[in-house]
Structure 1
Amino acid sequence: MAKYTRKQKELIENWDAQIDFLKSSIEIFDKGKVMEAIRIAQTLRVMFHNTEKSHSIYERLNNNIIFKSSSGLYSPFNLISSWMLLSVELSSDGISYQPKLDNPVDRLFFYDFEDWWNQVIFDDKKNVFSRKDIVVYVANKDGGAHFDDYIPEKYANLIIYNSLGVSDMNGSISNNPMYMAIRVIAQEVIDSVELENYSKERKSVIIPRSSFEVRFLDENEVVRFTWSSTDIQQGNSEDQKSILSKFKLSKRKLFYKYFGDKKVEYIKK
């Protein structure tokens, strides 16, 4: 018999099912079952990850959702590591990473998918990691599709050898930063989908006199961070300008985007 091509209705039904899976896994994670992050990563991979042989549900649906970023704006001038979606908490159990979920930053931005998916969320000063990097690694190699015998060096540094540099008096950290970040990514997706469904009334208004761009942290121009010469109070010294100039840039524009009576700041090409 011939191959069967899925209909649009089936893709929409599966997308809705993945959203339900995310919500269920979030509930389990929040009850203390942090290994549920592996299942969250699997769901996110199905929703968003493209390969040479397969395309994500998001791409096949030609979705045009804008994505909430709980990350503050990354600074390439930091001399210490960055963990953009997390906070650090000290308790009787030691030091741990915690997901930034409630009012995570002073100023929230929304992005098109590629800028959001490939935005840097960890920088241990040896390697940088995007949302895509973390989701795909956990889904493919950390017990999702496979549980590999060996952990690649850059991921081992992050989760085994504590390359982010946060530790208690014994030199240890009590949880896995990748799992905590995945919890935040799942929430960003849920919040973004809810905004998309909030109202069919849409309007975008460009914000004048704001200059934004993305800068690429790798030679392949994939992993990136957002920068602004008008809205960030850094980058004006000659040394900082020299550092910034090392990263290729792509221009962006800042908009107010309205969904009915809700307004968000949206950075787009």
Structure 2
Amino acid sequence: MSKVSKLVTSSDGCEIFAEGVGNLEGPTIVLVHGLGSSTVVFNNLFKDDQLLSKVYLVRYDMRSHGRSGRPLDRDDYSSPKFAADFMAVVEGFNRQKPYLLGWSLGGTVATDVCTHCPAGYVSGIIYVSALPYIGAIMMDLGKECLKNLHPRLLTQDVADALKARIDFVDSTINDCNASNWDDRLLWVGAFSHLNANDVLNAMSRQQDPEPLFAAGRQGLRLLHLYGDADQQLDNAVTEAQVSKHFVNRKVVVIKGGGHALFYEFQGQVVEEVLAFVTK
């Protein structure tokens, strides 16, 4: 069960860093991280024996993040290219019909996939404290904490930009203490690799949610996981707007759960995810 790391090439030549580990005979789950993070946020899941015994996990750095390429042109951050990155990763590991697990901004990739990939390309969607698409929903979904951080993440003031990245990470982990201090520093380090232009490119592409909604009405499975103590997002907004289109859905609200739900409530999240993908 050794980890495989590789660079795959997307349709426009952008290199995407990806890793895979787990049971090659099991279903595949592709993990997509949030804004400013990278594959490292999923280190705990990549070491979860219960999960790895049943499924094959793949994680990758979105373009402009981590060890993936970071083109400078805004046109290089279009919805079709995010979908192409996802397909390049799936095909680079020779997997078929994966589940897409999107955390936070990573949830938007499900809309790219439903819009630009062949019908039935994924077996299901797993939202974890997720933004489902980039658009008007962001005004209602983001809490004051996130709205206040947004301009600071784009500032040219170097000192405040770094402090904003630290504040952003701290708002994802509700119980930050000595036991997870190393992880906090790792997450802050990942975000520190992004400049203001990278942040803007990552969250400004045009998306149409209708293909996502249509896939839900046609039976695409959805598991929606979130906590009731999320400092960044009012996840009930996503539930109200998106879940109503998915006829085959399950919503799980974890009491006390914050934004990094898969991290602080790993056992419960793994249990729900395994039940979903092995059903």
Q: What is the TM-score of this pair, normalised by structure 1?
A: 0.28
Structure with the higher strand share, 1 or 2: 1
Structure with the higher helix share, 1 or 2: 2
- The structure whose Rg is larger is 1
Q: What is the TM-score of this pair, normalised by structure 2?
A: 0.28
